[in-house]
């Protein structure tokens, strides 16, 4: 069958093993100094390991693969203890994989293994209370927030088109000797004053380090923007969720390959729309 599954770039992988703890399904092992996908049966293709690879060696592809087998995965996970069991169940819940979640719970009950949450509470309610903020459902609409002054329409600070990294040309004249703001896709939706406080005075590019394909091309574009278009600075804006850190690594790799040296700043945005950290990197 054709389905989504991880792929590991053997050239990029340095064998650090950071992906291993973040694959409770047991699909990845370090063999001969490299991370390897040991079986299609164990990879659910949901990408829990993506945000933890420091060299961006792991990505998602769609290809012919054996169907994922939740029951076989649970045999692996049960051996690793209750914390790993809970992490796996949370992972399935975060991605709304109800069928796989129910299959996993059935295996636990068949083996008389105590559930890692209150059995009287519906599993989906219990599991929604934990997990990675990158995929976990949250509702903070009732928070008491200061809406600030809303006294009329604000002008857009966007000064060029297109903005998606796959579509921009690193040789476009509108980037020449300008400051580049490279923002993760979710950033502008989290920050109420994105245009006024962050976009103004910058040329914009947007990307998603978790979902975009062909990110090697992003590195090459950053290098070209630095060397050939001679941009002045790069500000990277990412969300606080782990997978978003890949965007900063793309910029750092692209700048490292360039012959010119330019300043790079990183701003980390909280999921509730505040700036958590701002630093030169």
The answer as to whether 168 is a domain residue is: no
Average pLDDT value for residue range 259-276? 94
- 182 and 276 together in one domain: yes
State which residues form the domain around 80. 2-128
Is the same domain home to 110 and 187? no
pLDDT at 109: 87
B/e letters for 221-230, b = 16+ CB within 10 Å, e = fewer, are bbbbbbbebe
Whole-number mean pLDDT of the chain? 84
**pTM summary value:** 0.56
The share of the chain scoring above pLDDT 70, in percent, equals: 86
CA torsion sign for 154, 170, 166, 222 is negative
Q: What is the CATH number of the domain that holds 9?
A: 3.30.70.20
Rounded to the nearest 10 degrees, the angle between the axes of helix 70-78 and helix 82-94 is 150
Question: 151, 199, 155, 209: which is closest to 179 by C-alpha?
Answer: 199
191 with 115, same domain: the answer is: no
Residue 154 lies in a domain: no
User: Domain check: are 113 and 192 in the same one?
Assistant: no
Confidence at 51, pLDDT banded by 50, 70, 90 = confident
> For residue 95, what are the CA distances in angstroms to 6, 69, 238?
16, 17, 21
Residue with tokens 């962050």: 198
Instruction: State yes or no: pLDDT of 216 exceeds 90.
Output: no
Is residue 124 domain-shared with residue 184, that is, in the same domain? no
Do 48 and 134 meet the contact criterion of CB atoms below 8 Å apart? no
Name the residue with tokens 């406080």.
Answer: 197
Residue 126 pLDDT > 50: no
Higher-confidence residue of 33 and 87: namely 33
Dihedral angle, C-alpha 186, 89, 20, 27, nearest 10 °: -110
pLDDT surpassing 90 at residue 251: yes
How far is it, in rounded angstroms, from Cα 201 to Cα 157?
8
What tens digit of pLDDT does each residue of 162-183 get? 999 999 988 888 999 999 999 9
Distance CA 168, CA 164 (A): 6
More confident residue, 144 or 188: 188
Evaluate whether residue 21 is within a structural domain. Answer: yes
Residue 95, domain member (yes or no):
yes
Could you report the per-residue pLDDT of 185-210, keeping only the tens digit for each?
999 999 999 999 999 999 999 999 88
pLDDT in tens, 128-140: 444 455 555 566 6
The tokens of 251 are what?
């910029």
Looking at the structure of the chain, the number of domains it has is 2
């Amino acid at each position: 069958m054709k389905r989504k599954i991880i792929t590991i770039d053997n050239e990029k992988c340095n064998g650090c093993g950071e992906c291993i703890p973040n694959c409770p399904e047991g699909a990845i092992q370090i063999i001969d100094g490299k991370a390897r996908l040991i079986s299609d049966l164990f990879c659910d293709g949901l990408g829990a390991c993506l945000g933890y690879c420091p060299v961006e060696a792991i990505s998602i592809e769609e290809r012919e693969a054996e169907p994922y087998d939740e029951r076989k995965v649970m045999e692996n996970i049960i051996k690793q203890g209750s914390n790993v069991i809970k992490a796996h169940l949370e992972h399935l819940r975060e991605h709304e994989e109800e069928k796989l979640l129910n299959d996993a719970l059935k295996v636990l009950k068949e083996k008389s293994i105590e559930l890692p949450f209150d059995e009287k509470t519906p599993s989906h309610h219990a599991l929604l209370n934990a997990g990675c903020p990158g995929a976990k459902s949250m509702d903070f609409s009732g928070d008491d927030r200061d809406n600030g002054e809303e006294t009329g329409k604000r002008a857009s600070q966007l000064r060029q088109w297109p903005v998606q990294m796959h579509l921009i040309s690193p040789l476009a004249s509108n980037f020449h000797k300008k400051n580049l703001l490279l923002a993760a896709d979710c950033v502008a939706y989290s920050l109420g004053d994105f245009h006024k406080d962050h976009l103004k005075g910058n040329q914009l590019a947007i990307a998603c380090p978790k979902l975009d394909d062909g990110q090697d091309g992003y590195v090459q574009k950053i290098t070209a923007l630095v060397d050939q278009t001679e941009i002045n600075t790069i500000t990277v804006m990412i969300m606080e969720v782990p997978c978003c850190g890949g965007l900063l690594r793309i910029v750092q790799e692209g700048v490292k390959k360039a012959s010119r040296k330019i300043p790079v700043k990183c701003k980390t945005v909280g999921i509730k729309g505040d700036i958590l950290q701002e630093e030169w990197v």
